[in-house]
Amino acid sequence: MLSIKNLHAKIGDKEILRGIDLEIAAGEVHAIMGPNGSGKSTLSYVLSGREGYEVTAGEATLNGEDLLDMSIDERAAAGVFLAFQYPVEIPGISTMSFLRTALNSVRRARGEAEMEAIEFLKFARAKAAALEIDDKMLQRPVNVGFSGGEKKRNEVLQMSLLEPKLMLLDETDSGLDIDALKVVSKGVNALRDPERAFLVITHYQRLLSHIVPDKVSVLAEGRIVASGGKELALELEEKGYAAVGLKDEAAA
């Protein structure tokens, strides 16, 4: 589904990605781990089309189509979704209005009929209930005054409604307590499907105990330096990044 070959990218004059090669098949959950500053979030930003990041070499395709040649909205319509580590607040816009606008925008781009207000309300409430999101939260401005757990549940709710093909989770476990982590992980796992793929970026094994990956790769200094099965995450938890030949200070 996702094919990345020799991907190089920079922000300003600083090169961050230095030749990423990665394949993620449909139905696969692929976890990316690595030291701070290794390029994990940059990879998700480049794939989602965030401004300020310049691709200088290489390619990335989604289902055979050139992902890097698409605009941000075209990537969304193609099924790319980025769950932020720090979701932004949008004052003045209710969560429900935001969600309906986003869903109908994607449906229009895909040639599908827009969802009417009453139909959407029933649809959204059913999805929200599974994530322990109540109506009061849906009426509040997007992420304004939300706790860390509420913001992440809201991100997963967006995924549930939009039903993307490629989900990029950038440290979704950041800021979550144990209970919120379980709720968010349950929501993510409910979306696992033979036609979808996940790229899960995390520092910690604790997330991967709930969202069990098919593969794990270690990214360091802009390159994939090691790959393996889910047991690789357990080894990193026990031994640190020295387990894959990185110096201790790189993991600090």
The pLDDT of residue 251 is above 80:
no
Q: How far apart are CA 44 and CA 83, in angstroms?
A: 9
* CATH number attached to the domain at 2-251: 3.40.50.300
The reported pLDDT for the residue numbered 248 is: 54
| 148-162 vs 117-130: helix crossing angle, rounded to 10 | 130
Instruction: List the 197-201 sheet strands across, edge first.
Output: 80-83, 166-170, 197-201, 29-33, 215-220, 223-228
The pLDDT of residue 156 is above 50:
yes
Structure tokens at 32: 């990316």
Q: What pLDDT band is residue 252 in, cutting at 50, 70 and 90?
A: very low
The pLDDT of residue 85 is above 90:
no
pLDDT in tens, 41-82: 999 999 999 999 999 999 999 999 999 999 998 999 999 999
Predicted model pTM: 0.90
State the pairing for strand pair 29-33/80-83.
unpaired
The reported pLDDT for the residue numbered 180 is: 86
The reported pLDDT for the residue numbered 1 is: 94
- For residues 48, 50, 56 and 62, what is the CA-based torsion angle, rounded to 10 degrees? 10
Amino acid at 43: L
pLDDT in tens, 194-249: 999 999 999 888 889 999 999 999 999 999 999 999 999 999 888 888 878 776 54
The reported pLDDT for the residue numbered 249 is: 43
pLDDT in tens, 87-96: 999 999 999 9
Domain map (residue ranges) of the chain: 2-251
